Amino acid sequence: MKTTTESFGVTKDGAKATLFTFTNDNGMSVSVTDFGANVVKICVPDKNGNIADVALGFDDVKGYETNENYLGALVGRYANRIGGAKFTLNGTTYEVDKTNGNNCLHGGFKPYGAMMHEYELNEDEDSAGVTFSRLSPGMEQGFPGNLDYSVTYTLTNDNEFIIEYFAVSDKDTILNLTNHTYFNLAGEASGSVYDHLVWIDSDSYTPTDAELIPTGVVAPVEGTPLDFRTEKPIGRDIDADHIDLKNAGGFDQNYALKTTPGDATLVATLKDPASGRKMEVYTDLPGIQFYAGNFLDTKNGKGGHDYGRREGVCFESQFFPNSCNIPAFPWKPLKADEEFNSITVYKFISE
């Protein structure tokens, strides 16, 4: 394992960002930055040993300051949408930032992916990584409780990129952390993901209204174009005639998973048949947002590349969107002084 540290530029406020790169014994590497705990690069060999960067992103910190599509972002305090941008906790109603029409999407106007984090490097014989941490002050983005949180990124010699979340608050609060990396296993900026094959081990999903707020129903995928229990190309059914595909402009749904807290379970795979690169997704969270980049429109990414509609795909492990307003969903507020831990793994294979 090898760790390198380099400058990643200076923010408009004058803060110096650092880029950390971890390279394993197979030549796979992961680069992450303390600015926003963003995942910047994931370089993976294909079936012939050719390495490509499979994560969409930017060449320096400036891109991450205005990262409207959340490329590589750590998302907090509350991933995905909160209907009406409000929730009630212990009898108090809290109003949070309306970042998406009338609703809150991915935390607030200043998301975690745009905040500087402390860092601590970790290295072992068969793994290397970094822990990014921060104190999110009470009422930041409108959420109660001073929240001490961290995310640990680790690359192993088994080509696993492990993401571990930890958080503790001094008051009851609500929490939903995720990672918003867009993957294109043919390499970033290599066109649409239509030919990528997807498998999701899920029998049901959470339908939404036209503003993509879950209605509270958990519906079977059986007989719908949202069924990925048998692997199929993303392009096959993405524009099928189905109300949830129409509402979202394609695949952008939360799937209910058969997971147990603390136990990272294989829940989804993504494969690019041409390069032979394959990614396995493991998590202990109850849901995953399978988002095929329908709204993706980012200019000036790495090497000046533009990233357009459906040129990257996200697997965002999470509690169901809007859980804080839907008691029937599998989620609970984080109690004062209770420790939150969760794990998600992206594992890479070439075949």
Residues that bind ligand BGC (CB under 6 A): 69-70, 80, 212, 252, 289, 291, 295, 316
Task: Give CA–CA dist 13/258, Å, rounded.
Answer: 44
How far apart are CB 68 and ligand BGC at their closest, in Å?
Answer: 7
Residue with smaller CB distance to ligand BGC, 46 or 97: 97
How far apart are CB 47 and ligand BGC at their closest, in Å?
Answer: 30
Q: Are 224 and 232 in contact (CB under 8 A)?
A: no
Q: Are 154 and 162 in contact (CB under 8 A)?
A: yes
Query: Where is 154: in which H helix or E strand?
Result: strand 147-156
How far apart are CB 267 and ligand BGC at their closest, in Å?
Answer: 16
Q: Are 310 and 296 in contact (CB under 8 A)?
A: yes
Amino acid found at 48: N
Task: Give CA–CA dist 213/84, Å, rounded.
Answer: 9
Task: Give CA–CA dist 181/158, Å, rounded.
Answer: 20
Residue reference for tokens 């990129």: 161
Residue with smaller CB distance to ligand BGC, 68 or 241: 68
Residue with smaller CB distance to ligand BGC, 194 or 295: 295
Residue of this chain nearest to ligand BGC (CB atom): 295
Distance of CA 12 to the CA centre of its chain: 25
Which residue of the set 180, 188, 280, 311 is catalytic? Answer: 180
Among the listed residues 309, 319, 325, 313, the one whose alpha carbon sits nearest the alpha carbon of residue 342:
319
Which residue of the set 140, 280, 311, 316 is catalytic? Answer: 316
Active site residue 180: yes
Residue with smaller CB distance to ligand BGC, 24 or 178: 178
How far apart are CB 51 and ligand BGC at their closest, in Å?
Answer: 27
Residues designated catalytic: 180, 316
